[in-house]
A and B are shown apart, each in its own frame.
Chain A
Amino acid sequence: MRMSRIVRIGADILYPAIVIFGLYIVAHGHLTPGGGFQGGAVIATGGALVIVAYSYKEVTEWLTKKVLMGQEVIGLLGFIGAGLLAFAVGQVFFFNFLANTGSLFGMPVPYGINPGELNTAGVIPVMNFAVGIEVWGGLTIVILYMLSGLEKEGT
């Protein structure tokens, strides 16, 4: 017994919109309220919507556990790597070596109240993306494992 056709089509239309909105919150973490942890939690909510609309067997065909576990591992390694890259410039661990220079994300910010620019804030957007990908993979895989523990009961 499945959910009705309206629920399935609504979940199909809403899921890409939720993923894009969550990535927008992650990417603008240095200008507006938000950041890595908040955006990752929003994207994991989109995954829960698809699991409720379809059954567990249909969802695990395209939302596999290996890909999500790989996402979580790459997120944590990227966060540590962004801190270790400061050793190549000659500074300490977790130093912001991209701020106020001319390269990627390196524009200086005018002092006081201003409308923000996306090109600023050094190594902070790189860390935001790494933490966002880790929280997305981690929270979705907890939901999937709890459902798989229930499905093999027999009912």
Chain B
Amino acid sequence: MLWNLPFITVVILTLIGLVTVLLKKNIIKILLGINILNSAVNLFLISLGYREGGVAPIFTLAPSELMVLPTPQALVLTSIVIGVATSALILSFAMILQKKYGTVDIDKIRRLQG
């Protein structure tokens, strides 16, 4: 069923990620919401460049000559690597915060400590 199903999935994933980032109180759950938002944007970029009946844009033993657009795939490669870098930094911050304050609840981490 090719009737706009990827774009509806993008809308649902964006709303789930937005609700998780705004309403949860645990740092690890906020990080999961950020990852879901990343996946929604990557899916939107990929599904903008699809041609009906096309194959992957590689000329080594390809089945046919009709190919999908290669430019959105290059942008999504960059976006996935930046998502990995963001997750690594937030996890390191969560580890140090747990060692200093004893909790990962953002309502109880309020003052800067020397």
Query: Once bound together, how far apart are the Cα atoms of A75 and B28, in whole Å?
Result: 32
Q: Tell whether, in the assembled complex, residue B60 and residue A114 are in contact, meaning their CB atoms are under 8 Å apart.
A: yes
Q: A90 within 8 Å of B by Cβ?
A: no
> Which residue on chain B has the smallest CB distance to residue A153?
B99
Partner of B95, one of A112, A113, A115, A149: A149
Q: Tell whether, in the assembled complex, residue B60 and residue A32 are in contact, meaning their CB atoms are under 8 Å apart.
A: yes
Q: Tell whether, in the assembled complex, residue A146 and residue B95 are in contact, meaning their CB atoms are under 8 Å apart.
A: yes
Interface residues on A, range: 10 to 19
Q: Tell whether, in the assembled complex, residue A31 and residue B60 are in contact, meaning their CB atoms are under 8 Å apart.
A: yes
Interface residues on B, range: 10 to 19
Report B55-71 CB contacts with A as 1/0, cut-off 8 Å.
01011111001000000
Seen from chain B, the residues whose Cβ lies within 8 Å of a Cβ on chain A are 56, 58-62, 65, 77, 81, 84, 88, 91-92, 95-96, 99
| Known contacts A113-B62, A115-B60, A146-B95, then 19 further A-B pairs from the complex at CB < 8 Å, ordered by chain A residue | A31-B60, A32-B58, A32-B60, A33-B56, A33-B58, A37-B77, A37-B81, A113-B61, A113-B65, A114-B59, A114-B60, A115-B61, A116-B59, A116-B60, A139-B84, A142-B88, A149-B95, A149-B96, A150-B95
A-B contact pairs, 20 of them (CB 8 A): A31-B60, A32-B58, A33-B58, A37-B77, A113-B60, A113-B61, A113-B62, A113-B65, A114-B59, A114-B60, A115-B60, A115-B61, A116-B59, A116-B60, A142-B88, A145-B92, A146-B92, A149-B95, A149-B96, A149-B99
